[in-house]
Amino acid sequence: MGAGTSGRLGVLDASECPPTFGSAPSQIQARIAGGRRALTRAVEGAEDDTDAGTRDVREFQPTARDVVCGVTASASTPYVRAALREAKRRGAHTVLVCCNPPRAREDVDTLVLARTGPELVAGSTRLKAGTATKLVLNAITTAAFVSLGKVYRGRMVDLRPANAKLRARAARMVAELTQLPPDAATRLLQDAGGEVKLALAMHFTGLDARQARKRLAENGLRALEPSRRKHAHAPPARPRRRVGGGT
């Protein structure tokens, strides 16, 4: 939930989740103050509309199983704060992503504060604050989908190959992870209906598509563990980087 630049960044991140992670469009949704028109032009006064913030959250009908994330550089946008209050009233976990410390935190469960300092052009929060906000939103959605088993060995194995570029990328992923020749990897991917994760499960378990899909549903990424592999050896794991001091 956001207004202006913050709202547009939220819509952008939400719209990129289905093709990247194969998520349902309803899983990550976004609302911007002023509606669709505000995506391409400023809608004056929309960020001050608290009734719209409350109303937009009600449309989602969030429960305790949901997360509602407000995005506002200033931490004080009325539309966003009203949305978060309504979400918390309904039992959802609330998150506030901002670049200035909020004056009050009683209506959010989690605060993500990116201290970007003064803007290069005073008041233009689409610059430093906007850039930092995009990084934060990327981190939130990527971490969420990694935890949901949408990423395997650093690759987005649930991507939707909806165009030639993505189909080629999917075939490369299958070839890299199975160590199959490109032609064989492409055939395997075709047998899996273009689903990278399913192709991997078929290869590593020796099962047909229907059985491999069932194995994935029951075991998730554990279906690709070395102990379950029958037809290929896993590619060597990449060494982990150490964070901080040392070499």
Distances (CA, A) of 214 to 40, 156, 210, 217: 44, 20, 6, 5
Structure-token pair, residue 208: 């047909």
| Exposed / middle / buried, residue 234 (Cβ in 10 Å: 0-12, 13-18, 19+) | middle
In the chain, DSSP finds a helix count (H) and a strand count (E) of 8, 3
Q: How many angstroms from the chain centroid is the CA of residue 58?
A: 22
The pair phi, psi for residue 15, each rounded to 5°, is: -70, -20
Q: Please say whether the beta carbons of 228 and 203 come within 8 A.
A: no
How many CB atoms neighbour CB 177 within 10 A?
22
| Buried-exposed string 81-115: b where 16+ CB fall within 10 A, e elsewhere | bbbbbbbbebebbbbbbbbbebeeeebbeeebebe
Distances (CA, A) of 194 to 17, 127, 153, 158: 18, 39, 19, 10
How many CB atoms neighbour CB 200 within 10 A?
28
Task: Name beta bridge partners: 69.
Answer: 95
Instruction: Give the active site residues.
Output: 16, 47
